[in-house]
């Protein structure tokens, strides 16, 4: 939703400010806080641009909003970005032309369940009341695809993150899939665990192999003991990268200046999203992106000495 606001300076000269709407996710997610930090960086460091954050249903919702010109940029996971760009999966015959601005971290998909639910493996979720992710999110779409591949059919319960946190606490739902904060549990999972002990269910070797074969846009991540949080054992799960992607027609100079501000003001982002501490954003973007980068991002990365492969160029 690109808008132009005309303001008059003291001399009477008109200046046009570019206004950008950023699609994010549920306000109870750690990722929402990250996008608030991103918006602040843009507003403080990119001349002529004003941005605001919109709470949304995350990836798929953001892509639909971008296509309807209701958002200019936002959270889009690498796996769903691939489908949307190529018109596959949930976007079959309805591709969404977006470009990646940057990747801000890998996202482990955690299967979090009540410890008293008697669930020891992902296969135990068969027929169990379970939330695959917030409605309209990449987490939801991906979790359902994963469960289809490994032959597990939970009794799906739909709702927002806040709904699911409350229902898990009340024992109306046994668990959910939630994108982690890098390798750590998300804030909503930590909230549940404060008063309701939880376990994290991992993939078996056979399930991981099936996902690699049938869902090549996904990665498999091994989480070591205590990486998800103190006391959690090692486990294996599926994962993807989290991107900030934009409309393909976002002005190149605007995109360049936004990416420049983000890379050069990383401390403020790390304060909101700790996985970014000491991270190399250009390198992570080139490593994890599955769809072309925005020309403005490519220009900035190449100026900094990074080599962008041909498959990531529009």
Query: DSSP for the chain?
Result: --EEEEEE-TTS-EEEEEEEEEE---TTSHHHHHHHHHHHHHHHHSTTEEEEEE--S-HHHHHHHHHTTS-SEEEEEHHHHHHHHHT-GGGTT----EEEEEEEEEEEEEEEEEGGG---SGGGGTT-EEB-SSTT-HHHHHHHHHHHHHT---EE----HHHHHHHHHTTSS-EEEEE-BTTBPPHHHHHHHHHS-EEEE---HHHHHHHHHH-TTSEEEEEPTTTSSTTPPPEEEEEEEEEEEEETTS-HHHHHHHHHHHHHTHHHHHHHSGGGTT--HHHHHHHH--SPBPHHHHHHHHHTTPPPPGGG--
Picking from 205, 220, 240, the residue at the C-terminal end of a domain is 240
Q: How far apart are CA 149 and CA 171, in angstroms?
A: 28
Domain shared by 167 and 254, yes or no: no
Domain shared by 99 and 120, yes or no: no
Domain shared by 36 and 128, yes or no: no
Q: How many structural domains does the chain have?
A: 2
Q: How far apart are CA 25 and CA 20, in angstroms?
A: 16
- Using the predicted structure, report yes or no on whether residue 9 has a pLDDT greater than 90: no
- Using the predicted structure, report yes or no on whether residue 7 has a pLDDT greater than 60: no
pLDDT for res 10: 41
Domain shared by 266 and 174, yes or no: no
Q: How far apart are CA 6 and CA 11, in angstroms?
A: 14
105 vs 294: which has the higher pLDDT: 294
Task: Report residue 221's pLDDT band, with 50, 70 and 90 as the boundaries.
Answer: confident
Which phi and psi angles does 24 have, rounded to 5°? -120, -110
- Using the predicted structure, report yes or no on whether residue 57 has a pLDDT greater than 90: yes
pLDDT tens-place string over residues 100-117: 999 998 889 999 999 999
Picking from 206, 240, 274, the residue at the C-terminal end of a domain is 240
Q: What value does the mean pLDDT of the chain take?
A: 92
121 vs 286: which has the higher pLDDT: 121
Give the count of alpha carbons within 13 A of 160, CB side only.
10
Task: Report residue 6's pLDDT band, with 50, 70 and 90 as the boundaries.
Answer: very low
Tell me the CATH number at 160: 3.40.190.10
Q: How far is CA 229 from CA 154, 172, 221, in A?
A: 26, 25, 16
Share of the chain above pLDDT 70, in %: 95
- The domain in which residue 87 lies consists of 3-105+243-312
Domain shared by 235 and 174, yes or no: yes
Domain shared by 112 and 234, yes or no: yes
pLDDT tens-place string over residues 172-208: 999 999 999 888 999 999 999 999 999 999 999 999 9
Q: How far is CA 73 from CA 118, 201, 274, in A?
A: 42, 33, 22
Q: Which residues pair with 19 in a beta bridge?
A: 3, 50
Q: How far apart are CA 26 and CA 189, in angstroms?
A: 14
Picking from 187, 221, 240, the residue at the C-terminal end of a domain is 240
Per the listing, tokens 């993807």 go with 240
Task: Residue 239: name the closest of 177, 285, 292, 193 by CA.
Answer: 177
pLDDT for res 13: 44
């Amino acid at each position: 939703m690109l808008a132009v606001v005309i303001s008059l300076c003291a001399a009477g000269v008109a200046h046009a400010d570019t206004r950008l709407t950023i699609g994010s996710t549920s306000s109870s997610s750690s990722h929402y806080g990250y996008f608030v930090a991103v918006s602040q960086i843009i507003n403080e460091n990119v001349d002529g641009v004003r941005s605001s954050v919109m709470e949304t249903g995350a990836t798929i919702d953001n892509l639909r909003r971008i296509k309807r010109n209701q958002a200019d940029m936002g959270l889009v996971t690498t796996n769903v970005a691939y489908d949307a760009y190529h018109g596959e999966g949930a976007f079959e015959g309805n591709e969404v032309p977006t470009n990646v601005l940057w990747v801000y971290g890998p996202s482990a998909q955690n299967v979090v369940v009540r410890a008293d639910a008697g669930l020891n493996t992902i296969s135990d979720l068969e027929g169990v009341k379970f939330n695959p992710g917030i409605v309209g999110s990449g987490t939801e779409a991906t979790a359902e695809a994963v469960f289809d591949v490994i032959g597990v059919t939970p009794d799906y319960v739909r709702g927002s993150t806040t709904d699911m946190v409350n229902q898990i606490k009340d024992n109306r739902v046994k668990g959910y899939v939630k994108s982690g904060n890098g390798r750590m549990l998300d804030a909503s999972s930590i909230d549940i665990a404060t008063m309701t002990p939880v376990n994290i269910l991992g993939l078996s070797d056979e399930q991981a192999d099936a996902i690699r074969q049938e869902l090549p846009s996904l990665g498999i991540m091994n989480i070591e003991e205590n990486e998800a949080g103190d006391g959690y054992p090692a486990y294996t799960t599926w994962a993807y990268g989290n991107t900030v992607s934009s409309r393909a027609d976002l002005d190149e100079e605007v995109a360049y200046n936004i990416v420049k501000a983000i890379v050069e003001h990383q401390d403020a982002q790390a304060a909101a999203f700790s996985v970014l501490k000491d991270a190399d954003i250009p390198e992570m973007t080139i490593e994890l992106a599955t769809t072309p980068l925005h020309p403005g991002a490519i220009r900035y990365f190449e100026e900094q000495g990074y080599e962008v492969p041909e498959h990531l160029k529009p």
